[in-house]
Structure 1
Amino acid sequence: MKLSKIFGLHAVQSALQYSPHKITQAWIDVQRQDQRLARAIDDLEALGIVPEKTDRKKLDRFAEGNQHQGIVIEIELPGELPEHNLKTAVQNLAAPALFLVLDHVQDPHNFGACLRTADATGVNGVIVTKDNAAGITPTVCKVSSGAAETVPVYQVTNLARTLRWLKEQGIWVFGAAGESAQPVYQADLSVPMALVIGAEGKGLRRLTQEACDMLVALPMRGSVESLNLSVATGVLLYEVLRQRMTA
Protein backbone atom coordinates (compact mmCIF):
# COMPACT_ATOMS: atom_id res chain seq x y z
CA MET A 1 0.00 0.00 0.00
CA LYS A 2 1.46 3.34 -1.12
CA LEU A 3 0.53 6.05 1.40
CA SER A 4 1.20 9.72 0.80
CA LYS A 5 0.06 13.11 1.98
CA ILE A 6 -1.94 15.51 -0.15
CA PHE A 7 -2.91 19.03 0.80
CA GLY A 8 -5.10 21.95 -0.17
CA LEU A 9 -8.88 22.19 -0.08
CA HIS A 10 -9.42 21.38 -3.76
CA ALA A 11 -7.25 18.26 -3.63
CA VAL A 12 -8.85 17.11 -0.38
CA GLN A 13 -12.36 17.65 -1.75
CA SER A 14 -11.47 15.60 -4.83
CA ALA A 15 -10.22 12.81 -2.59
CA LEU A 16 -13.43 12.97 -0.55
CA GLN A 17 -15.46 12.73 -3.75
CA TYR A 18 -13.56 10.04 -5.64
CA SER A 19 -11.73 7.94 -3.05
CA PRO A 20 -13.01 8.60 0.48
CA HIS A 21 -12.33 4.99 1.49
CA LYS A 22 -8.61 5.52 0.86
CA ILE A 23 -8.19 8.40 3.33
CA THR A 24 -6.44 7.23 6.52
CA GLN A 25 -5.61 10.39 8.52
CA ALA A 26 -6.11 14.15 8.47
CA TRP A 27 -4.56 17.24 10.05
CA ILE A 28 -5.99 20.76 10.21
CA ASP A 29 -4.69 24.17 11.23
CA VAL A 30 -6.13 24.85 14.69
CA GLN A 31 -6.13 28.63 14.01
CA ARG A 32 -7.87 28.56 10.62
CA GLN A 33 -11.64 28.85 10.35
CA ASP A 34 -13.64 29.15 7.13
CA GLN A 35 -16.67 27.48 5.56
CA ARG A 36 -14.81 25.34 3.01
CA LEU A 37 -12.50 23.94 5.66
CA ALA A 38 -15.47 23.33 7.97
CA ARG A 39 -17.25 21.36 5.21
CA ALA A 40 -14.16 19.24 4.62
CA ILE A 41 -13.93 18.52 8.35
CA ASP A 42 -17.60 17.50 8.44
CA ASP A 43 -17.07 15.14 5.47
CA LEU A 44 -14.02 13.59 7.11
CA GLU A 45 -15.82 13.09 10.40
CA ALA A 46 -18.72 11.46 8.53
CA LEU A 47 -16.16 8.87 7.39
CA GLY A 48 -15.09 8.30 10.97
CA ILE A 49 -11.86 10.28 10.58
CA VAL A 50 -11.39 12.96 13.23
CA PRO A 51 -8.78 15.46 11.97
CA GLU A 52 -5.91 16.16 14.34
CA LYS A 53 -5.70 19.85 15.23
CA THR A 54 -2.16 21.10 14.86
CA ASP A 55 -0.15 24.22 14.12
CA ARG A 56 0.71 25.73 10.76
CA LYS A 57 4.40 24.80 11.03
CA LYS A 58 3.60 21.09 11.09
CA LEU A 59 1.31 21.44 8.09
CA ASP A 60 4.03 23.42 6.29
CA ARG A 61 6.41 20.48 6.82
CA PHE A 62 3.85 17.98 5.56
CA ALA A 63 3.23 20.12 2.46
CA GLU A 64 6.96 20.78 1.96
CA GLY A 65 6.39 24.52 1.97
CA ASN A 66 3.53 24.46 -0.55
CA GLN A 67 0.15 26.11 0.00
CA HIS A 68 -1.99 23.74 2.08
CA GLN A 69 -4.92 26.04 3.05
CA GLY A 70 -4.94 24.60 6.56
CA ILE A 71 -5.56 20.94 5.74
CA VAL A 72 -3.44 17.88 4.96
CA ILE A 73 -4.65 14.29 4.59
CA GLU A 74 -2.91 10.97 4.29
CA ILE A 75 -4.29 8.77 1.54
CA GLU A 76 -3.58 5.53 -0.24
CA LEU A 77 -2.52 6.57 -3.73
CA PRO A 78 -3.96 4.78 -6.76
CA GLY A 79 -1.42 2.49 -8.35
CA GLU A 80 -0.29 1.86 -11.90
CA LEU A 81 -1.66 -1.36 -13.41
CA PRO A 82 0.57 -4.05 -14.94
CA GLU A 83 0.68 -4.88 -18.64
CA HIS A 84 -1.53 -7.96 -18.43
CA ASN A 85 -4.37 -5.77 -17.12
CA LEU A 86 -4.12 -3.70 -20.31
CA LYS A 87 -4.55 -6.81 -22.44
CA THR A 88 -7.60 -7.84 -20.45
CA ALA A 89 -9.09 -4.34 -20.77
CA VAL A 90 -8.57 -4.24 -24.55
CA GLN A 91 -10.15 -7.64 -25.04
CA ASN A 92 -13.21 -6.65 -22.97
CA LEU A 93 -13.96 -3.32 -24.67
CA ALA A 94 -17.58 -2.84 -25.67
CA ALA A 95 -17.05 0.34 -27.72
CA PRO A 96 -14.33 1.58 -30.12
CA ALA A 97 -11.08 1.88 -28.20
CA LEU A 98 -9.53 5.19 -27.22
CA PHE A 99 -6.23 5.00 -25.35
CA LEU A 100 -3.78 7.78 -24.54
CA VAL A 101 -0.11 6.74 -24.67
CA LEU A 102 2.58 8.90 -23.04
CA ASP A 103 6.10 8.23 -24.29
CA HIS A 104 8.54 9.12 -21.47
CA VAL A 105 6.46 12.02 -20.16
CA GLN A 106 8.20 13.01 -16.92
CA ASP A 107 6.55 16.19 -15.66
CA PRO A 108 3.93 15.31 -13.01
CA HIS A 109 1.92 18.45 -13.78
CA ASN A 110 1.65 17.47 -17.44
CA PHE A 111 0.81 13.90 -16.48
CA GLY A 112 -1.90 15.03 -14.08
CA ALA A 113 -3.38 17.42 -16.65
CA CYS A 114 -3.40 14.65 -19.27
CA LEU A 115 -5.25 12.36 -16.87
CA ARG A 116 -7.85 15.05 -16.26
CA THR A 117 -8.46 15.51 -19.99
CA ALA A 118 -8.45 11.75 -20.53
CA ASP A 119 -11.28 11.43 -18.02
CA ALA A 120 -13.22 14.28 -19.64
CA THR A 121 -12.98 12.79 -23.15
CA GLY A 122 -13.80 9.18 -22.28
CA VAL A 123 -10.36 7.65 -22.70
CA ASN A 124 -10.34 3.93 -21.81
CA GLY A 125 -6.92 4.12 -20.20
CA VAL A 126 -3.54 5.83 -20.22
CA ILE A 127 -0.45 3.82 -21.12
CA VAL A 128 2.92 4.93 -19.70
CA THR A 129 6.44 3.56 -19.76
CA LYS A 130 7.87 1.91 -16.68
CA ASP A 131 11.17 3.81 -16.97
CA ASN A 132 11.87 7.51 -17.47
CA ALA A 133 8.26 8.51 -16.85
CA ALA A 134 6.19 10.15 -14.16
CA GLY A 135 4.21 7.78 -11.97
CA ILE A 136 1.15 8.51 -9.87
CA THR A 137 2.31 10.90 -7.14
CA PRO A 138 0.52 13.35 -4.81
CA THR A 139 1.23 16.13 -7.33
CA VAL A 140 -0.29 14.08 -10.15
CA CYS A 141 -3.36 13.35 -8.02
CA LYS A 142 -3.74 17.03 -7.11
CA VAL A 143 -3.46 18.26 -10.72
CA SER A 144 -5.71 15.52 -12.09
CA SER A 145 -8.60 16.64 -9.83
CA GLY A 146 -9.71 13.08 -9.16
CA ALA A 147 -8.95 11.61 -12.60
CA ALA A 148 -6.06 9.57 -11.18
CA GLU A 149 -8.78 7.55 -9.45
CA THR A 150 -11.10 7.19 -12.44
CA VAL A 151 -8.74 6.60 -15.40
CA PRO A 152 -6.74 3.34 -15.41
CA VAL A 153 -2.99 3.88 -15.86
CA TYR A 154 -1.18 0.94 -17.44
CA GLN A 155 2.59 0.66 -17.06
CA VAL A 156 4.48 -1.19 -19.82
CA THR A 157 8.11 -2.20 -20.20
CA ASN A 158 8.51 -1.99 -23.98
CA LEU A 159 6.31 0.69 -25.53
CA ALA A 160 7.02 -0.13 -29.18
CA ARG A 161 6.12 -3.76 -28.56
CA THR A 162 2.90 -2.70 -26.81
CA LEU A 163 1.95 -0.48 -29.74
CA ARG A 164 2.50 -3.34 -32.17
CA TRP A 165 0.29 -5.55 -30.00
CA LEU A 166 -2.45 -2.90 -29.99
CA LYS A 167 -2.36 -2.83 -33.78
CA GLU A 168 -2.75 -6.61 -33.84
CA GLN A 169 -5.96 -6.10 -31.85
CA GLY A 170 -7.36 -3.80 -34.55
CA ILE A 171 -6.43 -0.54 -32.83
CA TRP A 172 -4.96 2.20 -35.00
CA VAL A 173 -1.97 4.02 -33.53
CA PHE A 174 -1.72 7.78 -34.18
CA GLY A 175 1.42 9.61 -33.11
CA ALA A 176 1.49 13.37 -32.48
CA ALA A 177 4.48 14.86 -34.30
CA GLY A 178 4.87 18.53 -35.16
CA GLU A 179 6.94 17.70 -38.24
CA SER A 180 4.15 15.65 -39.81
CA ALA A 181 2.54 17.01 -42.97
CA GLN A 182 -0.78 15.39 -42.00
CA PRO A 183 -3.07 17.83 -40.12
CA VAL A 184 -4.99 16.02 -37.41
CA TYR A 185 -8.27 17.51 -38.69
CA GLN A 186 -7.91 15.56 -41.93
CA ALA A 187 -7.38 12.19 -40.22
CA ASP A 188 -10.21 9.76 -39.44
CA LEU A 189 -10.16 9.49 -35.65
CA SER A 190 -13.48 7.68 -35.33
CA VAL A 191 -11.72 4.31 -35.63
CA PRO A 192 -10.53 2.30 -32.59
CA MET A 193 -7.31 4.13 -31.77
CA ALA A 194 -4.45 4.99 -29.45
CA LEU A 195 -3.06 8.54 -29.42
CA VAL A 196 0.67 8.68 -28.66
CA ILE A 197 2.21 11.83 -27.16
CA GLY A 198 5.98 12.31 -26.86
CA ALA A 199 8.06 13.68 -24.01
CA GLU A 200 8.44 17.33 -23.10
CA GLY A 201 10.76 19.05 -25.57
CA LYS A 202 11.76 15.76 -27.22
CA GLY A 203 8.67 14.39 -28.87
CA LEU A 204 8.26 10.77 -29.89
CA ARG A 205 11.27 8.48 -29.86
CA ARG A 206 12.30 6.92 -33.17
CA LEU A 207 11.09 3.41 -32.35
CA THR A 208 7.81 4.81 -31.10
CA GLN A 209 7.31 6.75 -34.33
CA GLU A 210 8.06 3.67 -36.38
CA ALA A 211 5.39 1.74 -34.48
CA CYS A 212 2.69 4.31 -35.37
CA ASP A 213 0.27 3.86 -38.27
CA MET A 214 0.12 7.60 -38.88
CA LEU A 215 1.74 10.78 -37.57
CA VAL A 216 -0.51 13.82 -37.20
CA ALA A 217 0.16 17.46 -36.37
CA LEU A 218 -1.71 20.49 -35.08
CA PRO A 219 -1.59 23.50 -37.43
CA MET A 220 0.58 26.27 -36.01
CA ARG A 221 -0.17 29.72 -37.40
CA GLY A 222 1.86 31.87 -35.02
CA SER A 223 5.52 32.25 -34.15
CA VAL A 224 5.75 29.52 -31.49
CA GLU A 225 6.84 26.08 -32.66
CA SER A 226 4.68 23.94 -30.40
CA LEU A 227 2.09 23.87 -27.63
CA ASN A 228 2.55 22.69 -24.08
CA LEU A 229 2.31 18.89 -23.98
CA SER A 230 -0.88 18.72 -21.93
CA VAL A 231 -2.52 21.52 -23.94
CA ALA A 232 -1.78 19.73 -27.21
CA THR A 233 -3.10 16.49 -25.74
CA GLY A 234 -6.34 18.25 -24.82
CA VAL A 235 -6.81 19.68 -28.32
CA LEU A 236 -6.14 16.31 -29.95
CA LEU A 237 -8.42 14.31 -27.63
CA TYR A 238 -11.26 16.75 -28.11
CA GLU A 239 -10.88 16.43 -31.88
CA VAL A 240 -11.27 12.67 -31.42
CA LEU A 241 -14.38 13.28 -29.32
CA ARG A 242 -15.80 15.74 -31.86
CA GLN A 243 -15.40 13.29 -34.72
CA ARG A 244 -16.97 10.46 -32.75
CA MET A 245 -19.94 12.58 -31.72
CA THR A 246 -20.63 13.61 -35.33
CA ALA A 247 -19.88 10.26 -36.99
Structure 2
Amino acid sequence: MARRGHRPSQAPGNRPRFWGRHAVLAALANPERQVRKLWGTREALANLDLPPVLPITYADVADLGRLVPSDAPHQGMVIEVDPLDDLWLGEVLERGADDRRPIVILDQVTDPHNVGAVLRSAAAFDALAIVTQDRHAPPESGALAKAASGALEIVPWVRVVNLARAMEEIAEAGYWRVGLTGHTQTPLNEALGSGRIALVLGAEGEGMRQNTAAHCDVLARLPISPRVESLNVSNAAAIALYAVATQG
Protein backbone atom coordinates (compact mmCIF):
# COMPACT_ATOMS: atom_id res chain seq x y z
CA MET A 1 0.00 0.00 0.00
CA ALA A 2 1.21 3.52 -0.76
CA ARG A 3 2.17 5.50 2.30
CA ARG A 4 2.06 9.08 3.42
CA GLY A 5 4.96 11.20 2.31
CA HIS A 6 6.59 12.72 5.36
CA ARG A 7 7.13 16.46 5.48
CA PRO A 8 10.13 17.59 7.51
CA SER A 9 9.27 19.46 10.71
CA GLN A 10 9.21 23.16 9.98
CA ALA A 11 11.13 25.81 11.84
CA PRO A 12 8.98 27.65 14.40
CA GLY A 13 8.91 30.82 12.34
CA ASN A 14 7.52 28.98 9.30
CA ARG A 15 4.85 26.87 10.98
CA PRO A 16 1.25 27.82 10.22
CA ARG A 17 -0.93 29.18 12.99
CA PHE A 18 -4.61 28.30 13.17
CA TRP A 19 -7.21 30.29 15.04
CA GLY A 20 -10.88 30.02 15.86
CA ARG A 21 -12.67 27.37 17.88
CA HIS A 22 -13.58 24.95 15.07
CA ALA A 23 -10.15 24.97 13.42
CA VAL A 24 -8.26 24.67 16.71
CA LEU A 25 -10.40 21.93 18.26
CA ALA A 26 -10.39 19.89 15.04
CA ALA A 27 -6.59 20.09 14.87
CA LEU A 28 -6.27 19.04 18.51
CA ALA A 29 -8.58 16.07 17.86
CA ASN A 30 -6.67 14.91 14.78
CA PRO A 31 -4.13 12.19 15.71
CA GLU A 32 -2.25 12.91 12.46
CA ARG A 33 -1.70 16.57 13.38
CA GLN A 34 1.38 17.68 15.31
CA VAL A 35 0.38 20.66 17.44
CA ARG A 36 3.44 22.52 18.70
CA LYS A 37 1.98 25.24 20.90
CA LEU A 38 -1.33 26.59 22.12
CA TRP A 39 -2.19 30.11 23.21
CA GLY A 40 -5.56 30.96 24.69
CA THR A 41 -7.58 32.87 27.21
CA ARG A 42 -8.34 31.05 30.45
CA GLU A 43 -12.03 31.30 29.65
CA ALA A 44 -11.71 29.75 26.19
CA LEU A 45 -9.48 26.89 27.39
CA ALA A 46 -11.27 26.26 30.70
CA ASN A 47 -13.25 23.14 29.73
CA LEU A 48 -10.90 21.60 27.18
CA ASP A 49 -9.23 18.23 27.74
CA LEU A 50 -5.74 19.20 26.60
CA PRO A 51 -2.71 16.91 26.25
CA PRO A 52 -0.44 17.33 29.28
CA VAL A 53 2.67 17.59 27.06
CA LEU A 54 1.27 20.45 24.96
CA PRO A 55 2.94 23.80 25.71
CA ILE A 56 0.18 26.22 26.69
CA THR A 57 0.46 29.96 27.13
CA TYR A 58 -2.44 31.82 28.69
CA ALA A 59 -2.95 35.22 27.15
CA ASP A 60 -5.52 37.98 26.98
CA VAL A 61 -7.48 38.85 23.86
CA ALA A 62 -5.15 41.68 22.86
CA ASP A 63 -2.07 39.45 23.07
CA LEU A 64 -3.76 36.78 20.94
CA GLY A 65 -4.61 39.43 18.37
CA ARG A 66 -0.91 40.09 17.87
CA LEU A 67 -0.30 36.41 16.98
CA VAL A 68 -2.67 36.39 14.01
CA PRO A 69 -3.51 38.69 11.08
CA SER A 70 -5.33 41.90 11.88
CA ASP A 71 -8.99 41.38 12.82
CA ALA A 72 -8.71 37.57 12.56
CA PRO A 73 -11.58 36.04 14.63
CA HIS A 74 -9.43 33.94 16.97
CA GLN A 75 -12.25 33.31 19.52
CA GLY A 76 -9.73 33.15 22.34
CA MET A 77 -7.44 30.40 20.99
CA VAL A 78 -4.48 30.10 18.60
CA ILE A 79 -2.28 27.09 17.83
CA GLU A 80 0.99 26.57 16.00
CA VAL A 81 1.16 23.33 14.00
CA ASP A 82 3.18 21.29 11.54
CA PRO A 83 1.50 20.76 8.15
CA LEU A 84 -0.05 17.34 7.69
CA ASP A 85 2.04 14.70 5.93
CA ASP A 86 1.50 14.34 2.20
CA LEU A 87 -0.94 11.73 0.93
CA TRP A 88 -0.42 9.56 -2.13
CA LEU A 89 -3.32 9.52 -4.57
CA GLY A 90 -3.14 5.74 -4.90
CA GLU A 91 -3.56 5.38 -1.15
CA VAL A 92 -6.73 7.46 -1.16
CA LEU A 93 -8.19 5.69 -4.22
CA GLU A 94 -7.54 2.32 -2.61
CA ARG A 95 -9.28 3.51 0.55
CA GLY A 96 -12.37 4.48 -1.46
CA ALA A 97 -12.41 1.44 -3.74
CA ASP A 98 -15.59 0.01 -2.22
CA ASP A 99 -17.75 3.13 -1.93
CA ARG A 100 -19.26 5.82 -4.14
CA ARG A 101 -17.99 8.95 -2.44
CA PRO A 102 -17.07 11.69 -4.93
CA ILE A 103 -13.68 13.29 -5.44
CA VAL A 104 -13.22 17.04 -5.95
CA ILE A 105 -10.40 18.13 -8.27
CA LEU A 106 -9.33 21.79 -8.19
CA ASP A 107 -7.36 23.17 -11.13
CA GLN A 108 -5.14 26.02 -9.93
CA VAL A 109 -7.55 27.36 -7.32
CA THR A 110 -5.13 29.44 -5.27
CA ASP A 111 -7.32 31.44 -2.89
CA PRO A 112 -7.08 29.90 0.61
CA HIS A 113 -10.61 30.97 1.52
CA ASN A 114 -12.00 29.18 -1.54
CA VAL A 115 -10.01 25.99 -0.93
CA GLY A 116 -11.05 26.04 2.73
CA ALA A 117 -14.70 26.49 1.77
CA VAL A 118 -14.46 23.61 -0.73
CA LEU A 119 -12.99 21.43 2.02
CA ARG A 120 -15.93 22.34 4.24
CA SER A 121 -18.44 21.37 1.53
CA ALA A 122 -16.48 18.19 0.83
CA ALA A 123 -16.82 17.25 4.48
CA ALA A 124 -20.52 18.13 4.52
CA PHE A 125 -21.25 15.87 1.54
CA ASP A 126 -18.81 13.12 2.55
CA ALA A 127 -16.40 13.45 -0.37
CA LEU A 128 -13.55 10.98 -0.49
CA ALA A 129 -10.88 13.65 -1.01
CA ILE A 130 -9.92 16.83 -2.77
CA VAL A 131 -7.05 16.81 -5.26
CA THR A 132 -4.97 19.84 -6.20
CA GLN A 133 -1.65 20.58 -7.80
CA ASP A 134 1.18 21.00 -5.36
CA ARG A 135 2.62 24.21 -6.82
CA HIS A 136 -0.62 25.97 -7.75
CA ALA A 137 -2.62 25.58 -4.55
CA PRO A 138 -2.33 27.44 -1.25
CA PRO A 139 -0.40 25.97 1.68
CA GLU A 140 -2.07 25.17 4.95
CA SER A 141 -2.71 28.44 6.73
CA GLY A 142 -4.85 30.04 9.37
CA ALA A 143 -7.16 31.62 6.78
CA LEU A 144 -7.64 28.30 5.00
CA ALA A 145 -8.23 26.37 8.22
CA LYS A 146 -10.71 28.99 9.42
CA ALA A 147 -12.67 28.82 6.14
CA ALA A 148 -12.64 25.01 6.32
CA SER A 149 -14.14 25.15 9.84
CA GLY A 150 -12.44 21.91 10.91
CA ALA A 151 -12.70 20.10 7.56
CA LEU A 152 -8.97 20.46 6.89
CA GLU A 153 -8.43 17.79 9.54
CA ILE A 154 -10.97 15.26 8.23
CA VAL A 155 -11.02 15.49 4.41
CA PRO A 156 -7.94 13.97 2.73
CA TRP A 157 -6.14 16.57 0.63
CA VAL A 158 -3.96 15.06 -2.09
CA ARG A 159 -1.37 17.32 -3.72
CA VAL A 160 0.00 16.10 -7.04
CA VAL A 161 2.77 17.29 -9.35
CA ASN A 162 0.88 16.62 -12.60
CA LEU A 163 -2.88 17.11 -12.48
CA ALA A 164 -3.56 15.54 -15.89
CA ARG A 165 -1.71 12.39 -14.91
CA ALA A 166 -3.62 12.28 -11.62
CA MET A 167 -6.90 12.58 -13.53
CA GLU A 168 -5.88 9.60 -15.65
CA GLU A 169 -5.21 7.60 -12.49
CA ILE A 170 -8.59 8.62 -11.11
CA ALA A 171 -10.28 7.47 -14.35
CA GLU A 172 -8.47 4.13 -14.15
CA ALA A 173 -9.93 3.73 -10.66
CA GLY A 174 -13.43 3.90 -12.15
CA TYR A 175 -14.40 7.55 -11.75
CA TRP A 176 -16.41 9.55 -14.30
CA ARG A 177 -14.71 12.94 -14.55
CA VAL A 178 -17.18 15.82 -14.80
CA GLY A 179 -15.71 19.24 -15.52
CA LEU A 180 -17.79 22.26 -14.53
CA THR A 181 -17.77 25.11 -17.03
CA GLY A 182 -20.07 27.70 -18.49
CA HIS A 183 -18.92 26.82 -22.03
CA THR A 184 -21.30 23.92 -22.64
CA GLN A 185 -25.01 23.36 -22.93
CA THR A 186 -25.01 20.05 -21.02
CA PRO A 187 -26.64 20.49 -17.59
CA LEU A 188 -24.96 18.84 -14.63
CA ASN A 189 -27.83 16.47 -13.87
CA GLU A 190 -27.55 14.95 -17.36
CA ALA A 191 -23.77 14.58 -17.12
CA LEU A 192 -23.51 12.73 -13.82
CA GLY A 193 -24.50 9.23 -14.88
CA SER A 194 -24.75 6.48 -12.30
CA GLY A 195 -21.14 5.68 -11.45
CA ARG A 196 -18.56 7.21 -9.15
CA ILE A 197 -17.97 10.90 -9.82
CA ALA A 198 -14.91 13.14 -9.83
CA LEU A 199 -15.91 16.81 -10.02
CA VAL A 200 -13.37 19.09 -11.70
CA LEU A 201 -13.44 22.85 -11.07
CA GLY A 202 -11.16 25.58 -12.31
CA ALA A 203 -10.05 28.86 -10.83
CA GLU A 204 -12.31 31.89 -10.84
CA GLY A 205 -11.92 33.99 -13.95
CA GLU A 206 -9.68 31.63 -15.92
CA GLY A 207 -11.72 28.48 -15.29
CA MET A 208 -10.26 25.10 -16.17
CA ARG A 209 -7.17 25.00 -18.31
CA GLN A 210 -7.59 23.44 -21.74
CA ASN A 211 -5.53 20.37 -20.89
CA THR A 212 -7.57 19.79 -17.73
CA ALA A 213 -10.83 20.03 -19.67
CA ALA A 214 -9.43 17.56 -22.21
CA HIS A 215 -8.94 15.03 -19.41
CA CYS A 216 -12.61 15.22 -18.37
CA ASP A 217 -15.10 12.63 -19.62
CA VAL A 218 -17.82 15.27 -19.96
CA LEU A 219 -18.20 19.01 -19.44
CA ALA A 220 -21.30 20.28 -17.67
CA ARG A 221 -22.84 23.52 -16.50
CA LEU A 222 -24.86 24.52 -13.48
CA PRO A 223 -28.34 25.79 -14.36
CA ILE A 224 -27.82 29.35 -13.15
CA SER A 225 -29.63 32.46 -14.34
CA PRO A 226 -28.15 34.30 -17.33
CA ARG A 227 -28.18 37.41 -15.15
CA VAL A 228 -25.15 35.94 -13.33
CA GLU A 229 -22.02 35.11 -15.32
CA SER A 230 -20.63 32.56 -12.89
CA LEU A 231 -20.51 31.40 -9.30
CA ASN A 232 -17.68 31.46 -6.81
CA VAL A 233 -15.79 28.16 -7.15
CA SER A 234 -16.62 27.13 -3.58
CA ASN A 235 -20.34 27.78 -4.16
CA ALA A 236 -20.22 25.82 -7.41
CA ALA A 237 -18.49 22.93 -5.63
CA ALA A 238 -21.16 22.87 -2.91
CA ILE A 239 -24.00 22.79 -5.45
CA ALA A 240 -22.31 20.09 -7.53
CA LEU A 241 -21.62 17.94 -4.46
CA TYR A 242 -25.26 18.25 -3.47
CA ALA A 243 -26.28 17.16 -6.98
CA VAL A 244 -24.03 14.11 -6.71
CA ALA A 245 -25.39 13.27 -3.26
CA THR A 246 -29.00 13.39 -4.50
CA GLN A 247 -28.61 11.74 -7.89
CA GLY A 248 -30.16 8.53 -6.52
> TM bucket by the smaller chain?
0.7 to 0.9
Trace 1:150-189 onto structure 2 (pairs within 5 A). Answer: 150-189=154-193
Shift of the 95–10 alpha-carbon distance from structure 1 to 2, 3 Å rule, reads closer
**1:207-240 CA deviation, whole Å, 9 max, x = no partner?**
0011111000001224111111100100001100
Contact 1:173 1:212 in 2 (8 A): yes
SS for the counterpart of 1:43 is: coil
Partner of 2:67: 62
Shift of 1:29: 4.3
Contact 2:24 2:79 in 1 (8 A): yes
1:22 to 15, 31, 34: 34
Structure 2 length-normalised TM: 0.84
- AA aligned opposite 1:23: V
Shift of the 52–170 alpha-carbon distance from structure 1 to 2, 3 Å rule, reads closer
Q: Distance in 2 between matches of 1:136 and 1:79?
A: 11
The alignment yields a C-alpha RMSD, in angstroms, of 2.3
Regions of 4+ moved over 6 Å: none
Contact 1:181 1:216 in 2 (8 A): yes
Shift of the 53–20 alpha-carbon distance from structure 1 to 2, 3 Å rule, reads farther
Q: Please say if 1:89 is aligned against 2:92.
A: yes
Structure with the larger helix share: 1
**1:144-184 CA deviation, whole Å, 9 max, x = no partner?**
12111111111111111221232233221110011111000
Q: Distance in 2 between matches of 1:43 and 1:29?
A: 12
Shift of the 64–183 alpha-carbon distance from structure 1 to 2, 3 Å rule, reads same
Shift of the 52–177 alpha-carbon distance from structure 1 to 2, 3 Å rule, reads same
Partner of 1:78: 84
Contact 1:104 1:128 in 2 (8 A): yes
Trace 1:223-242 onto structure 2 (pairs within 5 A). Answer: 223-242=227-246
Shift of 1:192: 1.7
Q: Distance in 1 between matches of 2:93 and 2:32?
A: 28
Contact 1:112 1:141 in 2 (8 A): yes
Shift of the 56–205 alpha-carbon distance from structure 1 to 2, 3 Å rule, reads same
Shift of the 165–226 alpha-carbon distance from structure 1 to 2, 3 Å rule, reads same
Q: Distance in 2 between matches of 1:79 and 1:217?
A: 35
- AA aligned opposite 1:126: I
Contact 1:99 1:195 in 2 (8 A): yes
Shift of the 52–173 alpha-carbon distance from structure 1 to 2, 3 Å rule, reads same
Partner of 1:9: 21
Contact 1:19 1:149 in 2 (8 A): no
Shift of 1:4: 2.5
Q: Distance in 1 between matches of 2:203 and 2:108?
A: 5
Shift of the 221–175 alpha-carbon distance from structure 1 to 2, 3 Å rule, reads same
Contact 1:26 1:51 in 2 (8 A): yes
Contact 2:102 2:196 in 1 (8 A): yes
Q: Distance in 2 between matches of 1:74 and 1:7?
A: 9
Question: Percent identity of the aligned residues?
Answer: 33
Q: Distance in 2 between matches of 1:53 and 1:130?
A: 36
Q: Distance in 2 between matches of 1:196 and 1:108?
A: 18
Shift of the 127–218 alpha-carbon distance from structure 1 to 2, 3 Å rule, reads same
- AA aligned opposite 1:72: V
Q: Distance in 1 between matches of 2:60 and 2:153?
A: 30
1:128 to 121, 126, 132: 132
1:108 to 108, 112, 115: 112
Q: Please say if 1:41 is aligned against 2:46.
A: yes
Q: Distance in 2 between matches of 1:149 and 1:10?
A: 10
What stretches of structure 1 of length at least 5 have no aligned partner? none
Shift of 1:59: 1.8
Structure 1 length-normalised TM: 0.84
Shift of the 156–10 alpha-carbon distance from structure 1 to 2, 3 Å rule, reads closer
Give the stretch that moved more between structures: 185-194 or 99-108. Answer: 185-194
